[in-house]
Amino acid sequence: MTSSPAELQNFVAGSFVEGTATFENTNPVDGSLVSLIHEADRGIVDAAVVGARAALNGPWGSSTVAERAALLRRIADGIESRFDEFVTAEVADTGKPLALAEQMDVTRALVNFRTFADIISTAGTESFLTDTAGGGTALNYAVRKPLGVVAIIVPWNLPLLLLTWKVAPALACGNAVVVKPSEDTPSTATLLAEVIRDAGAASGVYNVVHGFGGNSAGQFLTEHPGINGVTFTGASATGSTIMRTVAPRLLPVSFELGGKNAALVFDDCDVERAVEGLTRSVFTNTGQVCLCTERVYIQRGVYKEVVAGLVEKAKGLRLGRPGAEGTTTGPLISDKHRVKVQGAFATALTEGAEVLVGGGVPDLGADLAGGSWIEPTLWAGLDNSASVMRDEIFGPVAGLVPFDTEEEGIHLANDTDYGLAASVWSSNIDRAHRVARRMEVGISWVNTWYLRDLRSPFGGSGLSGIGREGGQHSLNFYTELTNVCVAS
Ligand code: NAD
């Protein structure tokens, strides 16, 4: 006899509420059922937005910076005290290796809250003394006010990390939020509701509505007249849909979207370090990080050596259950996503790819046959005219391409509609600075990848997004500034 699956409800104005329908949340490791999710209809989304507005009109609306910073710190402590529950929930939804969920996802979630507690506690605003025509002065100073009810819509790849990256600064600035986690990874957003409630947040400050995108909770939320802004992480096409939805109301948006990120590997790099870093940047989280590298341009002098190193590392990755000894790599998020990645694998062959490693679905035995597994894959033989070198795949795959001159490498890396991240591998400090600055992206790493300082700007250009979050940039999005001008 099996026990009935857990049911996850919406969190609206301080209470868990049932949905009008339920849908299944499955584990991509083996296809087993994780939980039943209560889907929010328009009425539930409306109650969440109304609840958020009521919170803003209550004591939360006049909370002090010190009170909000203290709340954020209690939330971080709450996540820490339930650390293993968060890890278990994230792993069940995503299938990612346990160590990755611990080190990347859940640790970063509590760091997000602590960092924005610090940032809001020390943030100032601009002030200017202005000379006036009559020989006097005027004092101009800016005052921050919350944006209001903020809709937060996030994807499935780093569910809690990306959610808290937005919730933490939004609450630090005094907003109330309605969050819509991905239909594929609803668990940690729901657990966070308990933590935020137990940390003492007023009812309505944090609301969760579950469901899908179009014609479901995502669309209902962005269409709602009571929201004051949308912050969204996800696919570029979805960003464009959301932008159209909110355009008539001219709502502010912050978009962190897709990428087709390049790495530039120069002859003068530390090859071992570059291979190690590139292995991480191509394959971490089964390639399902917006910052992952899908195009690797390698200067001809080290091409063979770097390719051989990457192929060897790819062969050394261990696919398996999240907690199993030695597991480095989990499955893709879903069968639906695997169909997309397999489609890219097939297209690559028609476009002339030479498969150096991978390229198919691995046989991991009957136990894992129901999972969304895919082989880590590297291609040679493609150039930038191939669609698989232009369109985001979001899987454990990259094309390896030789180049000759620095100028050619820069051109190839920038030859994309996206503009999220790049990495430059070189031991020549002048070249490293020179090339890194010329990358047309939001973040350009030198001899590293995914090293983040949460005070620094984060975001992308082109199809990769609109705006920047991080540090002061987050405060700017989550607040409205009023400039006060006092003549004397
Ligand atoms: P997605 O756009 O399909 O879904 C993201 C979220 O949007 C989900 O919660 C979904 O339900 C919701 N949604 C979908 N359609 C909607 C609509 N019409 N209205 C409102 N909400 C809607 O993206 P995904 O497949 O979940 O995530 C993968 C994508 O996210 C990749 O493109 C990846 O590069 C991108 N991403 C970007 C960053 C970044 O920081 N730039 C970080 C992580 C992921």
Q: Kindly give the confidence (pLDDT) of every residue in the chain, 488 residues in length, as a single tens digit, with 9 standing for 90 and above.
A: 446 779 999 999 999 999 999 999 999 999 999 999 999 999 999 999 999 999 999 999 999 999 999 999 999 999 999 999 999 999 999 999 999 999 999 999 999 999 999 999 999 999 999 999 999 999 999 999 999 999 999 999 999 999 999 999 999 999 999 999 999 999 999 999 999 999 999 999 999 999 999 999 999 999 999 999 999 999 999 999 999 999 999 999 999 999 999 999 999 999 999 999 999 999 999 999 999 999 999 999 999 999 999 999 999 999 999 999 999 999 999 999 999 999 999 999 999 999 999 999 999 999 999 999 999 999 999 999 999 999 999 999 999 999 999 999 999 999 999 999 999 999 999 999 999 999 999 999 999 999 999 999 999 999 999 999 999 999 999 999 999 999 98
206 and 97 together in one domain: yes
Domain residues for the domain of 55 are: 6-257+464-487
Q: Round to whole Å and give the CA distance between 464 and 162.
A: 15
Distance 71 CA to ligand 1 centre (A): 28
Q: Which residue has the tokens 């990874």?
A: 185
236 and 269 together in one domain: no
What's the confidence (pLDDT) of residue 488?
86
Whether 193 is covered by a domain: the verdict is yes
DSSP 376-389: -EEEES--TTSGGG
- Atom 35 (ligand 1): residue with closest C-alpha? 234
Contacting residues for 249 by C-beta, under 8 A, at least 6 apart: 225
Would you say the CB of residue 462 lies under 6 angstroms from ligand 1? no
23 and 127 together in one domain: yes
**Beta carbons within 10 angstroms of residue 253's beta carbon:** 21
Cα atoms in the Cβ-side hemisphere of radius 13 Å centred on 342 = 13
Choice among 39, 90, 183, 256 that is catalytic: 256
| DSSP structure class, residue 390 | T
Whether 1 is covered by a domain: the verdict is no
Q: Round to whole Å and give the CA distance between 327 and 478.
A: 39
- Atom 15 (ligand 1): residue with closest C-alpha? 213
41 and 77 together in one domain: yes
Rg (CA), the chain: 23
What's the confidence (pLDDT) of residue 4?
73
CA of 236, closest atom in ligand 1: 32
Whether 280 is covered by a domain: the verdict is yes
Q: Which long-range contacts (CB under 8 A, 24 or more apart) does 429-434 make?
A: 431/266, 431/268, 431/406
Contacting residues for 440 by C-beta, under 8 A, at least 6 apart: 414, 419, 461, 462
Would you say the CB of residue 182 lies under 6 angstroms from ligand 1? yes
Angle at which helix 107-122 crosses helix 65-81, to 10 degrees, equals 170
Q: What are phi and psi of 295, to 5 degrees?
A: -130, 125
Q: Round to whole Å and give the CA distance between 201 and 60.
A: 8
Say if strands 465-466 and 479-487 run parallel, antiparallel, or are unpaired. unpaired
Q: Which of 153, 231, 236 to mutate to test the pocket of ligand 1 (most atoms within 8 A of CB)?
A: 153
Would you say the CB of residue 256 lies under 6 angstroms from ligand 1? yes
70 and 149 together in one domain: yes
Whether 459 is covered by a domain: the verdict is no
- Atom 9 (ligand 1): residue with closest C-alpha? 182
Please confirm, yes or no, whether 294 is among the known catalytic residues.
no
Q: What are phi and psi of 157, to 5 degrees?
A: -80, -40
367 and 239 together in one domain: no
Q: Round to whole Å and give the CA distance between 472 and 73.
A: 19
Distance 255 CA to ligand 1 centre (A): 10
The token duo for 211 is: 């469901």
Would you say the CB of residue 159 lies under 6 angstroms from ligand 1? no
Distance 207 CA to ligand 1 centre (A): 19
30 and 137 together in one domain: yes
289 and 436 together in one domain: yes
Q: Round to whole Å and give the CA distance between 159 and 90.
A: 8
What's the confidence (pLDDT) of residue 1?
40
Strand-pairing partners, residue 11, are 16, 208
- Atom 18 (ligand 1): residue with closest C-alpha? 214
**Structure ipTM:** 0.96
Nearest to 179 by CA among 217, 215, 236: 217
Q: Which residue has the tokens 């930038």?
A: 384
CATH number at residue 87: 3.40.605.10
410 and 266 together in one domain: yes
116 and 215 together in one domain: yes
Q: Which residue has the tokens 């346990």?
A: 98
Whether 125 is covered by a domain: the verdict is yes
DSSP 16-30: EE--SEEEEEE-TTT
Cα atoms in the Cβ-side hemisphere of radius 13 Å centred on 184 = 20
What's the confidence (pLDDT) of residue 56?
98
226 and 321 together in one domain: no
Is the separation of the CB atoms in 290 and 259 below 8 Å?
yes
246 and 184 together in one domain: yes
Q: Round to whole Å and give the CA distance between 124 and 472.
A: 10
Number of domains present in the structure of the chain: 2
The token duo for 362 is: 């691995």
Tell me the CA distances in angstroms from 424 to 48, 157, 180, one per residue in order: 45, 24, 35
pTM value is 0.97
